[in-house]
Amino acid sequence: MVFCLYKDMENTIEKFREVIPDKWKVKLNTSDCADASVSWIGHMIATPTQFYTNFVARNDYCIQYTVRGKGVFFTDNRLYSVNTGTLWLVPKDKYYYYKSDENEPYEYFWIHFNGKGAEKFLESIGLSEKNPVIENLNNPNVAYQFNKLIDLSKTDAPNGHLILSALHRLLYEIEIALGEFNRKIIHGGRIIDDDPAVNEVIAFIKENYAKDIGLQDLANVVFLDRVYLITKFKSRTGLSPIRFL
């Protein structure tokens, strides 16, 4: 038995050697992602025309993910359709409401989280109070990770480390799902569907890759708001501008 385990480990190491250089070292900075905390997690199967609003300002972020059915979401004087696969950001301190459909009431997961890492995540996928809805994220892995978080929270003494680990995995799966939906073919630094602003940003990145450039520098190149640039860029490439860097 011990011999079999040793051989399995040896085979695994050999497989790693096929794809990993003999020497590999890279400096990482994950401080922006590490600071994130979960305050609430939940799941709701709505009844027909179920209505919810809240006038109390919050300090945390709340995202909701629809896994079935449909409804509407109102915020910032705009009404959005909510369908299966919709990811939506509930504002912190603005009036909002959401209401399930009469014939196909929605079912959704929701999570409240906060911290610098939460802000960076929302920025990276282009979700903001100005752009509070992302559609067509029909990915079972996202729903699975929401379920995982709920399972971890059901214990008498939830393990904070496991919950934070599951949160990061959830955010990762959302980014992957968004990338899979929006990914376009990139060839030679140009986008096949040829968005001028995105191409200009890509050209700027290629010319200034070695310099210390950030999101604001890229936004200045095409005279766009940073959040709008993220949304536009990711819709064409499947990556945020910073990830593309």
**Rounded CA gap, 60 and 90, in Å?**
10
Quick one: pLDDT band at residue 175, thresholds 50, 70, 90? confident
User: What one-character DSSP code corresponds to residue 56?
Assistant: S
Q: What is the mean pLDDT of the chain?
A: 78
pLDDT at 26 over 50: no
- 71: how many CB neighbours lie within 10 A of its CB? 25
* Structural contact between residues 149 and 38, judged by C-beta atoms closer than 8 angstroms: yes
Digit-coded pLDDT (tens) for 124-147: 787 888 889 988 888 888 999 999
pLDDT at 6 over 50: no
CA 38 to chain centroid, in Å, comes to 15
Return the domain boundaries, the chain: 35-182, 186-244
Q: Is 33 left (phi over 0), alpha (psi -120 to 50) or beta?
A: alpha
The angle subtended at Cα 58 by Cα 116 and Cα 105, nearest 5°, is 105
Q: What is the CATH T-level fold of the domain 35-182, as seen in this structure? A: Jelly Rolls (2.60.120)
Average pLDDT over residues 51-57: 83
pLDDT for residue 153: 85
